[in-house]
Amino acid sequence: MSRKVIVEVVIKNPQGLHARPAAMFVQIASKYNSNIALQKGEERVNGKSIMGILTLGIEQNAKVVLEADGDDADEVVTELTQLLTKESME
């Protein structure tokens, strides 16, 4: 059964979501079948695209919306939220 999960997350990493954590995000997202989107303000990108994520320019304390739609939406949102709320993603 397909399910949509949407959460708002505040980025904790002092460097924001730069190249290394963005790559980790995409690596995790790609393990799942759900469609994943990340949104900052009005900009929304594919959560499995490192270039898309980097174009958002996500900094520390930024609020982002994480959305997953699919059979494993709960699991992917849980895992990605844990990554995004870590103090350090190095």
Tell me the CA distances in angstroms from 44 to 5, 14, 38, 87, one per residue in order: 15, 22, 6, 24
To the query of whether residue 18 is one of the catalytic residues in this protein, the response is yes
In contact, 50 and 22? CB cutoff 8 Å: yes
Catalytic residue among 12, 18, 44, 86: 18
With residues binned 3-state (H G I as helix, E B as strand, rest as coil), the percentages for the chain, rounded to 5, are 30, 30, 40
Total number of residues shown for the chain: 90
Both tokens assigned to 64:
């982002």
Active site residues: 18
